[in-house]
C-alpha cells in the first residue's frame, strides 16, 4: 500500500488558490474571479477571520452607519461567490513550494496543485489565557483599540502589554478615554523610546509597573480588572469598562516557514510595493505580511494587489509557454 492511499490523499489541480478568508482573501477572490482566474478559496480555521470577533466596524469606508464584523464578512463572501469563487471550508496544513506548480495540502488529506497561490492567512492576537478574558471577549475585552476604542469614549480602560503595540494602543485610547491604566509586567517597557515617550507624556495614562492581570471582573460586561503586583504580592481592583490586550500578534505563517522569507516576528516578507514573495507565483496579502497597519481596509487593499500580481504572473507564464511551444514546433 502506498503512503498516498494509506492516508487516502485526494488530488486536485486549480488555477488560483487563495488561503484565508479575511478581507484580504475575499478581496483577492473578488478580483481574481472577475478576471476569469477561477479562484478556489479555503476559509481556514476561523472563517471570516479576525473581524468575526469584532462587534461594530465603523472605519471601513462605504458603511456610513457602521456594520457588524461577522455580517461584513458574510457580505465579503457573498460578493466573492457572486463572481464564481469556489469558497470551501478547510485549513491549509502543509505546503510544498519547492517546485512548480505549487502544492498545498488541505486538512492533511487533500493535495491541491495551483498555478498561483495567494496567502491571506492573517494573524491572531495573543491572549493572556484567562477564563474571564475569554468569557468577556467582545463584551469589553478587545485586542484592537482602533476597532473598539470609540465605544469607550470618556470612560476608564485598562491596557495590558509593554511593547510598541501596547504603547500605540494606550496612546490612541488616551485621546478618547477619561483614563487609561497600562499594566506592565516588568519594571520597564519593551516599546521603542519614541513610543514610550508618547505614553509618558499623556496626562491620563497611568503605568502600573510589575503588575500582572489576575482576572477581568464582570459577569456580562467588563466592570474592572483585578491585578497583582509581582514584587509585593499586593492585589488591587481597578474600575474599568474596557480591557485591551496588547501583548502582540502572531502571524499565521508557521506552515510557510520552510519556503518563504519571514521576518523575525514571523511575518511574510514581500517585495516592497508588491505582494510578491521570494517564491515566484506565491503572493502574500493582509495581516500575514503586515505588522504595521493591520486594518481591514489595508488588508483588502493588499488582497487586491495580490490578485492583480497573480493575474500578471499567470499571463506572463502563459505567453512564455506559448513561445516555447512555437519554438519547439519550428524545431520539428
Distance CA 302, CA 180 (A): 33
In this structure, the number of other CB atoms found within 10 A of the CB of residue 327 comes to 9
- Least Å distance, CB 44 to ligand NDP, is 21
Interacting residue with ligand NDP among 292, 327, 328, 331 (CB under 6 A): 292
Per rule CB under 6 A, is residue 103 in the interface with ligand NDP?
no
Per rule CB under 6 A, is residue 74 in the interface with ligand NDP?
no
End-to-end alpha carbon distance in the chain: 42
144 is an active site residue: yes
Interacting residue with ligand NDP among 34, 135, 185, 239 (CB under 6 A): 185
Distance CA 116, CA 310 (A): 6
148 is an active site residue: yes
Choices 2-10, 48-56, 87-95, 244-252; region in contact with ligand NDP by CB under 6 A: 244-252
CA distances to 73, 272, 287, 314 from 304, in Å: 16, 15, 14, 15
Q: Taking CB under 6 A as the criterion, which residues in 143-162 touch ligand NDP?
A: 160-162
147 is an active site residue: yes
The cell numbers describing 277, all together, are 514573495
Interacting residue with ligand NDP among 45, 66, 70, 248 (CB under 6 A): 248
- Say if residues 18 and 37 touch (Cβ distance below 8 Å): no
Phi-psi category of residue 227: left, alpha or beta, with phi > 0 → left and psi -120 to 50 → alpha: beta
Distance CA 117, CA 281 (A): 6
The nearer residue to ligand NDP, 102 or 294, going by C-beta atoms, is 294
Interacting residue with ligand NDP among 175, 219, 257, 265 (CB under 6 A): 265
Interacting residue with ligand NDP among 102, 110, 179, 249 (CB under 6 A): 249
The cell numbers describing 176, all together, are 478618547
The nearer residue to ligand NDP, 8 or 131, going by C-beta atoms, is 131
What residues have CB less than 8 Å from 332, skipping those under 6 apart? none
Per rule CB under 6 A, is residue 198 in the interface with ligand NDP?
no
Per rule CB under 6 A, is residue 164 in the interface with ligand NDP?
yes
- Say if residues 257 and 97 touch (Cβ distance below 8 Å): no
Of the residues 108, 147, 156, 220, only one is catalytic, namely: 147
Choices 60-68, 242-250, 280-288, 315-323; region in contact with ligand NDP by CB under 6 A: 242-250
Of the residues 56, 75, 108, 144, only one is catalytic, namely: 144
Per rule CB under 6 A, is residue 225 in the interface with ligand NDP?
no
Provide DSSP, 140-172. Answer: TEES-HHHHGGGGTTSEEEEE--SHHHHHHHHH
Per rule CB under 6 A, is residue 165 in the interface with ligand NDP?
yes
- Residues annotated catalytic, as ranges: 144, 147-148
Chain residues that interact with ligand NDP, rule: CB under 6 A: 128, 160-166, 168, 185-186, 190, 247-249, 265, 291-292
Amino acid at each position: 500500500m502506498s503512503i498516498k492511499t494509506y492516508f487516502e490523499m485526494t488530488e486536485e489541480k486549480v488555477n488560483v488558490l487563495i488561503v484565508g478568508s479575511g478581507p484580504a482573501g475575499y478581496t483577492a477572490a473578488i478580483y481574481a474571479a472577475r478576471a476569469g482566474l477561477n479562484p478556489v478559496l479555503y476559509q481556514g480555521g476561523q472563517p471570516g477571520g479576525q473581524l468575526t470577533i469584532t462587534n461594530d466596524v465603523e472605519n471601513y469606508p462605504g458603511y456610513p452607519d457602521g456594520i457588524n464584523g461577522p455580517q461584513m464578512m458574510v457580505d465579503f463572501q457573498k460578493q466573492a461567490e457572486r463572481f464564481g469563487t469556489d469558497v470551501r471550508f478547510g485549513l491549509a496544513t502543509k505546503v510544498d513550494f519547492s517546485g512548480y506548480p505549487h502544492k498545498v495540502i488541505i486538512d492533511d488529506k487533500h493535495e491541491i496543485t495551483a498555478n498561483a497561490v495567494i496567502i491571506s492567512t492573517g494573524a491572531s492576537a495573543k491572549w493572556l489565557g484567562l477564563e474571564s478574558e475569554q468569557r468577556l471577549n467582545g463584551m469589553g475585552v478587545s485586542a484592537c483599540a482602533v476597532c473598539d476604542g470609540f465605544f469607550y469614549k470618556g470612560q476608564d480602560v485598562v491596557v495590558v502589554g509593554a511593547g510598541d503595540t501596547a504603547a500605540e494602543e494606550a496612546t490612541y485610547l488616551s485621546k478618547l478615554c477619561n483614563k487609561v491604566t497600562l499594566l506592565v509586567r516588568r519594571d520597564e517597557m519593551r516599546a521603542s523610546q519614541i513610543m514610550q515617550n508618547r505614553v509618558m507624556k499623556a496626562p491620563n495614562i497611568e503605568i502600573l509597573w510589575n503588575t500582572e492581570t489576575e482576572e477581568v471582573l464582570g459577569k456580562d460586561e467588563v466592570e474592572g480588572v483585578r491585578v497583582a503586583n509581582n514584587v509585593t504580592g499586593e492585589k488591587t481592583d481597578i474600575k474599568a469598562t474596557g480591557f485591551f490586550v496588547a501583548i502582540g500578534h502572531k502571524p499565521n505563517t508557521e506552515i510557510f516557514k520552510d519556503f518563504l522569507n519571514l521576518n523575525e516576528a514571523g511575518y511574510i516578507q514581500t517585495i516592497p510595493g508588491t505582494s510578491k514573495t521570494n517564491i515566484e507565483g506565491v503572493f502574500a496579502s493582509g495581516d500575514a505580511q503586515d505588522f504595521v497597519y493591520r486594518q481591514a481596509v489595508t488588508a483588502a487593499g493588499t488582497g487586491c494587489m495580490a490578485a492583480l500580481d497573480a493575474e500578471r504572473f499567470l499571463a506572463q507564464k502563459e505567453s512564455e509557454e506559448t513561445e516555447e511551444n512555437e519554438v519547439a514546433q519550428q524545431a520539428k
